[in-house]
Amino acid sequence: MDKIGIYAVPFVISAIVLAGAVKRIDIFESFKEGAKEGISSLISVAPSLIGLVIGVNMLSASGFFELTADALSPFCHAVGIPPEVLPLGLIRPVSGSGATAILSSILENNGPDSLIGKTASVMAGSTETTFYAIAVYYGAAGIKKTRHTVPAALTADFCGIITACAVTRMIG
Amino acid sequence: MLLSYIWVLMIVGSVICSFITGRSAILAAAITEGADKSISLLFSMAGVMCLWTGIMKIADKSGISAGIAGILSPVLSKLMPDYAKDSSALKAVSANITANMLGLGNAATPLGIKAMKEMQKHNRLGDKPNNSMIMFVVINTASVQIIPASTAALRKAAGSTDPYSILPLVWISSALALLAGIIVTAALNRNGGVQNG
């Protein structure tokens, strides 16, 4: 299963570059344009990422994650979530930069290729900043009441957390 | 505003925690260390992030996103029956979902806003979202990303021997989560539909 990643990345990149060649677009100019957007989005998240990495680093140094993991481990084991990755699941719907900061701390403390590190990576890759999306999209369209959007979207996020843990445990 | 509360909780919580665990000295060092770490994190992520935003821009301009959007469109029209005949809304929705799949973050948000505005034009519930709009939000937030670039970048930054080894797991997990989200939303829509007419 691990090998798929090794083949997928070069395949995706060469397929896309070839598609660009077939369509006769200016490939390198497009790459530069996209890379520039990557730089500007990194710059735009930098201030919040700096603040949240400081906050998460403080929590991590204070022993907060160990204390909460101990306290929550009966619940986590009951639903099949490693307690170490729970903070990521909690912050993911609220803040993208917060999730980046917490994922980075989990990977650093447990190792990126450990089961916990892989579970956290899969979780981060399969969920989104739900509240941000609801606020931005509904706000722009002038929708004020949300009906059952929040319960539906949060249930979907919760399913994402559970599937990330289960899939990684079974075939990771 | 919510982040302000979270930040205060993080800072005050860690100080209180450090009293319990007796790690005040470590905490004091961690504040400066965190500031330092955030910048090295940004630097070590930057290359991988820009690689993928660049590659996906080529995909976008080569018509790959238009192709994927064309495949998704009939499926999405089934999931959002209020807009099955509204081609401009459906087109914007498909373009947004495709941009999310390809990780074109900068393009995805304006496309999502456009999609929601198009949907709002024919929304009989006024300032409340109709069932199709709720389905759109859920599909959007449970989105399947083909290459989770920022996660791969963070894994590389943490010294992973193979940052992309998680790809098949991410695909399976996010597809299952999307399916679960669609089922839950369809069930809630059915109940809510009765209440809200």
What would the two tokens of residue A109 be? 């403390």
Chain A: nearest CA to B81, how far in angstroms? 17
B-facing residues of A in 108-167 (CB < 8 A) are 108, 111-113, 117-118, 121-131, 133-134, 136-138, 140-149, 151-153, 155-157, 159-160, 163-164, 167
Whole-number Å distance between alpha carbons of B69 and B65: 6
In a domain, residue B154? The reply is yes
Q: What is the pLDDT of residue A128?
A: 78
pLDDT tens digits, B66-100:
999 999 999 999 999 999 988 899 999 999 999 99
| Disruptive mutation site among B151, B185, B195, B196 for chain A (greatest number of A CBs within 10 Å) | B151
In this structure, is the dihedral angle defined by the CA atoms of residues B152, A28, B106 and A156, taken in order, positive or negative?
negative
With a pLDDT cut of 70, the percent of chain A lying above it is: 99
**Residue of chain A minimizing CA distance to B15:** A62
Report if residue A72 sits inside a domain: yes
Has residue B29 been placed in a domain? Answer: no
Query: Which 70-89 residues of chain A touch chain B by CB within 8 A?
Result: none
- The answer to whether position B104 is within a domain reads yes
Measured CA angle at B28 (ends B27, B34), to 5 deg = 75
Q: How big is chain B by its Cα radius of gyration, in Å? A: 21
Contact B113 A140 (CB under 8 A): yes
Structural domain total, chain B: 1
pLDDT tens by residue, A123-153: 998 777 899 889 999 999 999 999 999 999 9
Could you tell me the residue range of the domain that residue A136 belongs to? 46-171
Q: Is residue B13 part of a domain?
A: no
Instruction: Report if residue A3 sits inside a domain.
Output: no
What count of residues does chain B have? Answer: 197
Angstroms from A150 CA to nearest CA on chain B = 9
CA pair distance A105, B182, nearest whole angstrom: 32
Which two three-digit tokens encode residue B107?
Answer: 């393009």
Q: Is residue A97 part of a domain?
A: yes
Say if B19 falls within a structural domain.
Answer: no
Instruction: Compare all CA atoms of chain B with the CA of A142 and give the residue at the minimum distance.
Output: B127
Asked if the Cβ–Cβ distance from B10 to A59 is below 8 Å, we say yes
Looking at beta carbons, which residues of chain A come within 8 Å of B29? 61
The total number of residues shown for chain A amounts to 172
Minimal Cα–Cα distance from A122 to chain B, Å?
A: 5
What is the residue range of B56's domain?
Answer: 37-196
User: Which residue is closest to A149 within chain B, CA to CA?
Assistant: B134
- Residue at A136 is within a domain: yes
**Per-residue tokens: B72:** 């998704």
Nearest to B154 among A104, A137, A141 (CB): A104
Q: Give a yes or no: residue B183 inside a domain.
A: yes
Walk along chain B (197 residues) and give the pLDDT tens digit of each residue: 788 999 999 999 999 999 999 999 999 999 999 999 999 999 999 999 999 999 999 999 999 999 999 999 999 999 999 999 888 999 999 999 999 999 887 788 899 999 999 999 999 999 999 999 999 999 998 878 899 999 999 999 999 999 999 999 999 999 999 999 999 999 999 987 544 43
Could you tell me how many CB contacts below 8 A there are between chain A and chain B?
369
Cα–Cα nearest to A85, from A167, A156, A1, A162: A162
Domain membership of residue B3 (yes or no) is: no
Chain A residues touching residue B155 (CB < 8 angstroms): 107, 112, 117, 121
Collect all residues of chain B within an 8 Å Cβ-Cβ radius of residue A108.
158
Distances (CA, A) of B29 to A12, A108, A134, B33: 43, 17, 38, 6
B85 contacts A43 by C-beta, under 8 angstroms: no
Domain count, chain A: 1
CA B38 to chain centre: 22
Query: Residue B149: closest CA among chain A residues belongs to which residue?
Result: A125
pLDDT tens figures, A19-49: 999 999 999 999 999 999 999 999 999 999 9
User: CB neighbours (10 Å) of residue B62?
Assistant: 23
Compute the distance between CA of residue B96 and CA of residue B68 in angstroms, rounded to an integer.
Answer: 11
For CA atoms B10, A127, A86, B154, give the dihedral sign: negative
B137 found inside a domain: yes
Quote the ipTM score.
0.92
The pLDDT, as a whole number, for residue B193 is: 55
**Residue A66 burial (10 A CB sphere; 0-12, 13-18, 19+):** middle
Maximum CA pair distance of chain A? Answer: 59
- Could you tell me if residue A107 is inside a domain? yes
Is some CB atom of chain B closer than 8 A to the CB atom of A64?
Answer: yes
Q: Which residue, A84, A49, A28, A29, is CA-closest to B41?
A: A49
